[in-house]
Amino acid sequence: MGEDLFILMVAPHACIRVAKEAAALRGLGYHVSLLTESGRVPDNADTYDGVYTYTPNDPASFSSVLKTISSRYDIIHYHNEPSYLMEVVREVTGFQKPLIFDYHDSNYWREDRDVSLDSLGESLAWHHEDVAVSMADGIVFPSEPCMEEFKSRPEHKFSKNSMIALPPAVPRSMYVYGEFDFVGGLVSQGGHINPERARGDRWRDYSELYKYLKEHSRKRIVALSSVFQEGDGRDKEAYSYYAGLGVLAGFYPYHLLLLRLPRHSWNMVGNWYGDSPDDQMNGYKKLSGTWIGGKAWRVASPNKFFDSLAAGIPSVIMNAPHIAEEAKEVSLIVDHPQELLDRWDEHRHYRALVHKKRTEFCMENYIGSLVELYKEVMR
């Protein structure tokens, strides 16, 4: 394996995690191309040896393009979401070509499986995910807790998949170096919802956190998310909602994001939902050493932590126990926003630690497990 291995990354939404893996693999001499939706070609398209597109939300177009190009590749590496096109990949390529399922996101990591559907006595199930997993020869999980959750599912007893956990680390070729104008404050990346309108994804409701920081300090809060981008892609209601809280909301493409992050004091990882148990229902409440609720943050290994390392800004991790354990040497770990305010000036100390240790967290240090998975499924 090496220079003679050709890998096709199939990623309908072509998020940055795909590019991170591709860049590290190409650094080892592998040939990596991308198949994605037209209109979704990323700014970092030069990360790949080639880019192919198909008509969005059109399985027939997807199948047609894949039939044309699949014979050129030794491994098909599919990234969700969505998950349902894994079935089309199998129909096109058969069972002769190794197929990897990169499990970026799962509804099982957002909801507890034992939640029942009304009075029907049925546990929640997302069949498109279950089917996708059954099609795979190997599975890539973003964290060990995500992989352990999968192993706890009843259907896992039927699975013979090879599995690894691969965090969304950033390759060193994407690391940012230099001097930046300092503006201070807290920067919070990623999805944000308007709680007055949205019903799901409650871990993306940062209302209580931002309100507390604004009421108890004069710190600048900057929220960077694709929902805040200018033009037709902006969620106007979410933008207005967070702007009304005194938050500076905006969006930058990934390469510019990494250049903007170092200007701030802290990068936010995790969330906080208020002081009362009711407020914590969708998040975390630390009770006698036990973390309850907030399943998404409980298992997460988020891009935003590894992106902060690449940018050279320290993270404050709040109520996200898995990544807190992984990142404790280079991050401030707190349970409550007041702890952050009390220790705010420690960002200088943690920034120095980040720059000393960040190469220990680069994708090159993790990518070997994916290479070994490729070898295993090709035997």
Q: Which neighbouring-strand residues pair with 8? A: 33, 76
Q: Which residue has tokens 């952050």? A: 340
What is the pLDDT at residue 293?
Answer: 41
Q: Alpha-carbon distance 118 to 113, whole Å?
A: 14
pLDDT on residue 274: 85
Residue-level pLDDT, tens digit, the chain, 379 residues: 556 899 999 999 999 999 999 999 999 999 999 999 998 888 888 999 999 999 999 999 999 999 999 999 999 999 998 999 999 999 999 878 899 999 999 888 876 555 545 555 666 678 899 999 999 999 999 999 999 999 888 776 656 779 999 999 999 999 999 999 999 999 999 999 998 887 667 788 999 999 999 999 999 999 999 999 998 888 999 999 999 999 999 999 999 999 999 999 999 999 998 876 444 444 444 433 333 346 788 888 999 999 999 999 999 999 899 999 999 999 999 999 999 999 999 999 999 999 999 999 999 999 999 999 999 999 8
**Beta strand ranges found along the chain (DSSP E):** 6-10, 31-37, 50-54, 75-79, 99-102, 138-141, 162-165, 186-189, 221-224, 248-250, 266-270, 285-287, 290-292, 315-318, 332-334
pLDDT at 281: 44
pLDDT at 58: 96
Helices 16-27 and 367-378, packing angle to 10 deg: 80
Question: What local confidence, expressed as pLDDT, does residue 63 receive?
Answer: 97
Six token digits for residue 272: 């906080």
Sequence ranges of the chain with CATH classification 3.40.50.2000:
6-167+363-378, 176-360
The CATH number fitting domain 176-360, selected from 3.30.1330.20, 3.40.1160.10, 3.40.50.2000, 1.10.540.10: 3.40.50.2000
Compute the distance between CA of residue 283 and CA of residue 269 in angstroms, rounded to an integer: 13
Q: DSSP assignment of 152-212, as one string?
A: TSGGGGG---EEEE------GGG---S------SEEEES----TTT--S-GGG--HHHHHH
* CA-to-CA separations, 11 to 66, 82, 318, in angstroms, rounded: 12, 9, 30
List phi, psi (to 5°) of 51.
-130, 130
Instruction: Please tell me the class of the 6-167+363-378 domain.
Output: alpha beta
Tell me the pTM.
Answer: 0.91
Question: Which residue's structure tokens are 């499990």?
Answer: 103
State the CB neighbour count (10 A cutoff) for residue 212.
18
User: What is the amino acid identity at position 20?
Assistant: K
What is the C-alpha separation between 250 and 248, in angstroms, rounded?
Answer: 7
Tell me what pLDDT residue 40 has: 84
